[in-house]
Structure 1
Amino acid sequence: MTVPVLARPPRALRLGAIVGAVVALAVAYLVGTGSSASAATLFSDNFDDGNSAGWTTAGGSWSVVTDGSGVLRQAGTSSDARARAGTASWTDYAVTARVRPTAFNGSNRFVAVLARAQSNTSYYYLALRSNNTVELKKLVNGSSTTLATASVTVTVGTWYTLRLEVSGTSLRGTVNGGAATSATDSQFGSGQIGVATFNATASFDDVVVETVGGGTPSSPGTPSSSGPSTPPVDPGPNLADGWASVNAWGQNGTTGGAGGPTVTVTTAAQFLAEIATAGPRVVRVSGMLSLPGPMHDVTSDKTIVGVGANSGISGGGLNVGIPIDDNITSPPANAVNNVIIRNLRIVESDDDGINVQMFSHHVWIDHNYFTGATDGSLDIKRGSSYVTASWNHFDGTDKTALLGRDDGDDAQDVGRLKVTYHHNWFDSTNQRNPRVRFGDQVHVYNNYYNDTGNYGVASTMDAGVIVEGNYFLNVDDPYHLGEASSGPGRLVARNNCLVNSGSGETGGSVSNPPYAFTVQTACSINSIVSGGAGTGRVTT
C-alpha cells in the first residue's frame, strides 16, 4: 500500500491544528452509534517555545531549532537516539507526531515514535524505514521484534504524520492516516511516549498524546473531540443525527418510513409509484434504475435506501418538496417532511441529484454517492430546514451543495436553512461545498476535502457557518466570506487540518447548534471519511 506524501506547508497552514483540534478533557460519543468514546489530551509540544523541557534524551544530538517553526531535531548519526516524555503510568493512549527524516546513514534505517516506553531499551514503536516500509515493533531489553508491517513510500526531506495507538493489548499504527498496521501484544501495559532515530537524522514536531477509551455523551450544543476510531458508518436505519434529529416544526427527529410497509423495487415505474405514495413506506432500490429527467417528487414519511453498494438512480433526480410558491413565507401544513435517503448511487442527473425545497424539513441524506449532475448534486433551498447530509461521497462534482437559492429569498430563508454536513467526502469537487445564504447555524464538521477546484465553503448573506474538524488537502481556498454578488456572512473556523491548503477567511460569531455532536481529530479525518463515505457501508 502506498500512502500520499504530504509536503509541509508553513505553520499557519499546516497540521499545527493537530494540537488545537484536541480539546482537553473533552467528553464525547461517536455520533449515531450509541457507543461511547472520549479523548483527553495528556501531553502536547510543538516546540515553539524554543526548548525541549519535559524531554529526556539518550544518544544522538538533540536540539530545538527553527525549521519554518520550532522543531525538535536529532542531528547525529549514532546508531540509536531517543527522546522520551510523559509518565510511566500512562496506559491507553495515542501518540501522534510530525516526522521529517533528513538523512539515512545506510540501508534499512528508520525514524520512529514510541509508546509505553519502560526505558531506553524497552518500548513499542512505529518505525518509518528507508526501505519504504512502516513497521510496528517492540523492543525488549534492546532486542527488537516486528509485529506488523506495511508498504509506504519514504522520501528524505518530506514530513509524515505518524500515529501509534495502544489500548489494552491492541496496537495500531498509521502514516498520514493510511498504511495501517495493527497487532496484539501484552509485553508492556503502560509507559512514556517518545521519538527516535536509528542511523538517521530527523526533525520532530506537533507531538500530541490523547487518551483512548470509554466516555459519556456530550451535552446538547457542546462540541467534544475524539481521536481516530472505527468509523461510525452505520448508525442504523432511523437514527438521524445533527439538525435532522432536532424536535421542531411538529416533528420529533427523522424516522422516514418507519412503521410503514417495506417494498423492494427493481424498475423505474415501481420506484416512482412508491416514492409518490402517501403514508410511511420503506422503499428498497435493487439495481440501477434509469429515470426520465429531470426531477421526481418524494412524499413525506419515506425511507429510500439502496440495496448493496451498486443500487441507485440515473438520469432523473429526487425532489423533496412541494411546488415553488414565492407567496409562502412560513412552513405550510403540507410541507414535505420526515424523509431518509440512504445508500443510493445518484448519477448523471438531468437537473439536480437531490433537491430539497419549499420548507421541507427533517430530511436525512446519508451514505450516498453523487456524480455527474447537470446542475447541483444536493440543493437545499426556500425555507427548508432540519436537514443532515452525512457520509456522502461527492465525486468530481461541480455545483456540489447549494444552501439557499438566491439573495432575494430572505423572506423564506432567514431563520431557517438549518443544516448539518458531516463526514462527507468532497472528492475533487469544484465549488459550493456548501455555498450558504442566510442559513444559521450551518454546521460543517469532520468532512474531507481533497483537490478542490474553486473553493470549499462560502458563507454569504449573513449566514452563520461553523467549519470545524475538517481535513483540507490541496485546497487553495478552503472557506471564505461572500461569493459573487452575495454579501458576506459569518464564519467560525476551528480545529481544521490544512495540508497544502490556504488559510481561509473567517469573521463574526456563530453559536453552536443545540444538538450533541462529536468532533473527531481533524488530521485523521481523511482516512476515516474516505474509508466510510458512500454506498456499500451500511446495512440494508
Structure 2
Amino acid sequence: MAALIASALTIPPAGSSSLSATLSAFPPFSAFGTTADGFASVSALGQNGTTGGTGGSVVTAATTAQFLDYISRPEPLIVQVSGTITLPTGSRDGMHPVASDKTIVGLGSTARLTGGGLHIGLPASDRITSPPADAVHNIIIRNLSFDGATDDLINVQMFSHHIWIDHNDFSDGDDGAVDVKRGSDFVTVSWNRFHDHDKTLLLGHDDDNAAQDRGRLRVTYHHNYFDASDQRNPRVRFAEPVHVYNNYYRDNSYGVASTMDAGVVLEGNYFHSVNNPGRVDFSGDLGRLVERDNVLVECNHPIETRGPVVEPRTYYAYTLHRAAEVPTVVPAGAGVGKL
C-alpha cells in the first residue's frame, strides 16, 4: 500500500489572495475549540456560522428532568451537564428533541448521557423537500459521553443546519452514533472518539431520498478517532462535498463509502488495519471520491477513487496535520475532558 504523507497545509478559501499551500506548524489541539470550523462555520441559510446558545443564560442540569426541560426551551441557552443523566425510553424510543440555539456541554470529564439519544430536527416527512422556516438550527454539543441508546445516540434530520458535534465519546448505541439525513446541512463532527459501536455515521437517509438530500448534507468530519468502530465511518449518499480529513481509523471493516453520486474529499487520514479504507462501489449507484495524502498500514484494499468532487476550500479555509502525525495527535486530543 502506498503511504502518502501530507505536509502541514494551510488552505485558504476560493477567492482569497493565494490558493497555494504554505508550510506551517500546526497548533496543538488545545488551541482549538472556541468556535466551530468546517461546514458548521459557513454563513448560509440565514445563519452566520454556529454559535449555539451564545448570548443566552448559562444553566446546569444535574437531573433528567432539568436536562429535558432546558434542551426543549425556545430561547438560547448554554446547558452544562453535570454527572450522569439517564434518558428515558418513553414514547420516543429514547430520542429527545433539542430546540434551536443551544449549547450542550459536559462539565469536566464525567458528564454522560445514557439510555437514550438526542434528536435534532422536525418530525420526518417525505412531503417536505426544501428547508422549512422553522428548521432546527444552531446547536453545539461538546464534551459528553453518549452510550446505551435504544436508537441513535444523536440523530440530525429534516433540514436541520449549523450543527457542531465536538470532543465527545460515543459507544454502544443500538443504531447510529451520529446520523445526519433528510436534507440537513452545514454540520461539523470533530475530535470525537467512536468505539464499541457498529453503524457509526450515516450521511443520507436512503437510496430513494434524492429530493431532500441532493445538494445538501454538507458535512466536515475531522480529527475523529474511529477506534474499532466497525462500519459507516461515514457511509454517504447524495451529499457533496463531504470533507473527511485527519481522522484516525483503527481496526474497522470499512472507513468511508461514497454512493448515489455523493462527492467525498478524503485527505490526510491514517488507516491502520482497515479492510476497505474508502469505497465508491458499495451498494446503490456509484459515488465519487477524491483521495490525497492518506496513509494505509496493514489494509487489505486500496482506496477506490472516482471524480471529480467540489473542493471544500470553496466554502472554508482549513489546516491539515501531516497524516503520519494523526495516530499520535488524534487519540491525544479526541474525546471528553480535552477542551
TM-score bracket for the superposition, by shorter chain length: over 0.9
CA distance in 1 between counterparts of 2:302 and 2:42 reads 33
1:237-290 CA-to-partner distances (Å, cap 9, x unmatched) read 4x1000000010000100000000000010011000000000100000000111
Cα distance 1:505–1:346, how it changes in 2: closer, same or farther (>3 A)? same
Q: Secondary structure at the match of 1:407?
A: coil
1:347 aligns with 2:147: yes
Per-residue Cα deviation, 1:143-190 (whole angstroms, up to 9, x for no partner): xxxxxxxxxxxxxxxxxxxxxxxxxxxxxxxxxxxxxxxxxxxxxxxx
Partner of 1:491: 289
The residue type paired with residue 476 of structure 1 is N
Which residue matches 2:28? 231
SS in 2 for 1:331: coil
Structure 2 residue aligned with 1:427? 227
Cα 1:273–1:415 change in 2 (3 A) is same
Q: Displacement, 1:487?
A: 1.3
Structure 1 residue matching 2:119: 3-state secondary structure: strand
2:316 aligns with: 515
CA contact (8 A) 1:223 1:519 kept: no
Shift of residue 334 of structure 1?
0.5
1:232 Cα deviation (Å)? 2.0
Letter in 1 for 2:76: P
Asked whether 1:470 is paired with 2:269, we answer: yes
Matched AA of 2:260: M
What's the TM-score, normalizing by structure 1? 0.59
Q: Which residue identity is paired with 1:473?
A: H
1:356 equivalenced with 2:156 (yes/no): yes
Task: Indicate the residue corresponding to 1:256 in structure 2.
Answer: 52
Q: Which letter does structure 2 place at the counterpart of 1:241?
A: D
Cα distance, 1:377–1:226 mapped onto 2, change above 3 Å: farther
Q: Deviations over 1:107-162 (max 9, x none)?
A: xxxxxxxxxxxxxxxxxxxxxxxxxxxxxxxxxxxxxxxxxxxxxxxxxxxxxxxx
CA–CA distance in structure 2, aligned partners of residues 359 and 464 of structure 1: 19
SS at match of 1:296: strand
CA distance in 2, matches of 1:299, 1:225: 41
Structure 2 residue aligned with 1:389: 189
Which whole-Å CA distance do the structure 1 matches of 2:197 and 2:40 have between them? Answer: 24
- Cα distance between partner residues in 2 of 1:459 and 1:366: 23
Aligned residue among 296, 301, 304 for 1:505: 304
C-alpha displacement of 1:14:
4.1
Are the counterparts in 2 of residues 228 and 528 from structure 1 also a CA contact under 8 Å?
A: no
Determine helix, strand or coil for the equivalent of 1:474: strand
1:524 and 2:319 aligned: no
AA partner of residue 264 (structure 1)? T
Q: Is 2:215–2:238's contact at 8 Å kept on the other side of the alignment?
A: yes
1:196-241 Cα shifts (integer Å, max 9, x gaps): xxxxxxxxxxxxxxxxxxxxxx42155847677553245244x100
After the TM superposition, which residues 275-290 of structure 1 pair with which residues of structure 2 at under 5 Å, given as runs?
Answer: 275-290=71-86
How far apart in 2 are the matches of 1:475 and 1:432?
12
The CA deviation string for residues 60-86 of structure 1, in whole angstroms up to 9 with x for no partner, is xxxxxxxxxxxxxxxxxxxxxxxxxxx
Match of 2:127 among 327, 331, 337: 327
Which one scores higher on RCO, CA 8 angstroms, separation ≥ 6?
A: 2
For 1:489, give the aligned amino acid. Answer: G
Answer yes or no: is 1:418 the counterpart of 2:218: yes
SS at match of 1:386: strand
User: Relative to 1, partners in 2 of residues 1:328 and 1:393: Cα closer, same or farther, differing over 3 Å?
Assistant: same
SS at match of 2:55: coil
Work out whether 1:240 is the aligned partner of 2:36. Answer: yes
1:519 Cα deviation after fit: 1.4
Q: How many residues align?
A: 328
* C-alpha contact 1:226 1:520 (8 A) present in aligned 2: no
- Quick one: which amino acid aligns to residue 398 of structure 1? D
Q: Give the SS at the match of 1:412.
A: helix
Structure 1 residue 429: deviation in Å? 1.1
Gaps of at least 5 residues in structure 2 are: none
Q: Is the 8 A contact 2:247 2:270 kept in 1?
A: yes
Q: State TM-score, norm by structure 2.
A: 0.94
**CA pair 419-226 structure 1, distance change in 2 beyond 3 A:** farther
Return the offset for 1:425: 0.3
Q: Residues 398-445 of structure 1, C-alpha deviation per residue, up to 9 Å, x if partnerless?
A: 000000010111000000000000000000011100000000000000
Match of 2:256 in 1: 457
**CA 1:233 to 1:353, structure 2 compared with 1: closer, same or farther past 3 Å?**
farther
* C-alpha separation in 1, matches of 2:124 and 2:99: 15
For residues 275 and 432 of structure 1, do their structure 2 counterparts lie closer, same or farther at Cα, with a shift above 3 Å needed? same
Distance 2:161 2:25 in 1: 32
CA distance in 1, matches of 2:126, 2:254: 30
Tell me how far 1:482 sits from its aligned partner: 3.3
